[in-house]
Chain A
Amino acid sequence: MSYGGKVDVLRDVSLDVERGEVVGLIGPSGSGKSTILRTLVGLMKPRAGRVSVEGATVDYSSRGSLRVARDRFAIVFQQYNLFQNMTALRNVAIAPTLVKKRDRAQVDAEARALLARVGLAEKVNAYPDELSGGQQQRVAIARALALKPDILLLDEVTAALDPELVGEVLDTIRALQRDGMTMLIVSHEMGFIREVASRVAFLDQGSVVEVGPPAEIFDAPKSPRLRDFTSRILRH
């Protein structure tokens, strides 16, 4: 995949994800990890390449087809991006009611259940700025789950959090993994990736350099670039 402009941000990215699988994306800053996720949800337009889900090609070319593409994926952002003008409950319930036109009472009940699942049953009526970063991020995860995506995309979801709040978000993701949620996780929490991911892809300069089970990637890296990356990470 590549983009208009001077630099190809991504090229030679080839990655398969099985249903129920958790794949970790690691690599240095600017390697294109987040770009992959943003491309999948149609926030950036690929110039070439192909994405397919369950055999069907996802078409990013028009507004209409983009809607179909976006139904497949849900993304959780580093900065949570909760709608500031809505309560936690509305944040979670708005897309299913407004976009998917589902029954409001039913959606609200589901949204409450989702918020309870991420441990925020008491915060349904709180506005984002009344919540801690970790709480906001858990609302954002609930909001993404409410879309019932085929694949959940997590874009450095703990990177903006205070260290003491990281644990609660990681616990939430662990629970999702146990429930069989298919996830593509971009993260710098190497210990966590190693624990939840069934496979890890290492990206550098917009390309997938190496893919494999966590043990292989972290303990027996083949490519020199990955060796260099892991050694730098293990040093701190």
Chain B
Amino acid sequence: MWEQILEDAPRFFGPWNLLFLGEALVNTLLLSYLGAAMGFAIGFGLAIGRHPRLYGVLPLRIAATAYVEIFRRIPFLVKLMCVFFAFQLSGAQASLFTIALVTVVLSAAAFAAEIARAGIESVPAPQWDAAEAMNFSRWRVLTRVVAPQSWRVALPPLFGYAVGFIKSTSIASQIGVMELTYAAKILNTRGFSAALCFGTILIVYFLICWPTKRLGEKLEARLGHRAKA
């Protein structure tokens, strides 16, 4: 196997293939980071809409809770197919990339909503009492008192899930989205050894995930320090 890899390597890492993989890498990064960022923003909104002391009016709470509970329990591939067929049924023109991005966003929103809820609930009720008794609006209770104290609890799992979503995007290869895993498959069918193709993207995935995890740890340490100091 090693001989074959060494023989293939110069051809495999030729300019065309590198461009091809580079494009796939950009798509994986966009799907992961853009998807997670948008999803986390929506998830934060869902958490606010579920909280009785914030904007949690009953219909909103029921809708948000149903969404969160359902979307956390469906496997990513099934969600991907649902979104795919939903787009087909509606007749809307959407690229495969868009379909994958929407799936990541929907998925990330549900998980982030749960994490944000845990973060919000980690702030003791007396902190709310004090702010409300001083006439803080709900928005200010949230932005000045609750959110700054929630980050410490919410941040580590958020980054954990972000790493998870980077890995989930590989499933988008199932509908033919040109991301890293799909690119590896294509190169493999073009005759390059599977070890070389998938070995390469394995390293690339690691190089994306590891700094993401480190960034999470750094932010955690910094926020933790500031909230305490």
State the A residues within 8 Å of B (CB): 38, 41-43, 67, 70-71, 73-75, 77, 79, 81-85, 94-95, 98-99, 127, 129, 143, 147
Contacts and interface: CB of A to CB of B under 8 A. Distances in A.
A67 B145 CA distance: 18
Contacts of B136: 95, 98-99
Interface centre among A43, A84, A85, A127, by most B CB within 10 Å? A85
Given A81-B126, A83-B127, A127-B228, A74 B134 contact: yes
A81 B129 contact: yes
B227 A71 contact: no
Contacts of B148: 85
29 contacts: A38-B129, A43-B129, A43-B132, A43-B133, A70-B133, A70-B134, A71-B135, A74-B133, A74-B134, A75-B133, A77-B126, A77-B130, A81-B126, A81-B127, A81-B129, A81-B130, A82-B130, A83-B127, A83-B130, A84-B227, A85-B227, A94-B134, A95-B135, A98-B136, A98-B144, A99-B136, A99-B140, A127-B228, A127-B229
Interface centre among A42, A73, A79, A83, by most B CB within 10 Å? A83
A84 B127 contact: yes
Interface in B104-153: 126-127, 129-137, 140, 144-145, 148-149
Nearest to A38: B129
Contacts of A99: 134-137, 140
Nearest to B227: A85
Nearest to A43: B129
A102 to B, nearest CB: 13
A79 B126 contact: yes
A184 to B, nearest CB: 14
What 8 pairs between A and B have smallest CB-CB spacing? Answer: A81-B130, A85-B148, A95-B134, A41-B133, A81-B126, A70-B135, A99-B135, A75-B133
Contacts of A98: 136, 140, 144
Contacts of B126: 77, 79, 81
Interface residues of B, number: 19
B134 A147 contact: yes
Contacts of B137: 99
The majority secondary structure among interface residues of chain B is helix
Contacts of A77: 126, 129-130
Nearest to B134: A95
A95 B130 CA distance: 11
A99 B134 CA distance: 8
A129 B226 CA distance: 12
B51 to A, nearest CB: 16
Contacts of A95: 134-136
A59 B148 CA distance: 32
Nearest to B145: A83
Nearest to A67: B135
A81 B111 CA distance: 31
Contacts of B131: 83
Given A70-B134, A79-B126, A84-B127, 8 more contacts: A38-B129, A41-B133, A42-B133, A43-B132, A70-B132, A83-B127, A85-B227, A98-B144
A71 B140 CA distance: 17
A42 B148 CA distance: 24
Interface centre among B130, B131, B136, B148, by most A CB within 10 Å? B130
B129 A42 contact: no
A41 B131 CA distance: 11
A99 B138 CA distance: 12
A35 to B, nearest CB: 13
Contacts of B140: 98-99
A83 B146 CA distance: 9
Nearest to A84: B149
Given A77-B130, A129-B228, A85 B145 contact: yes
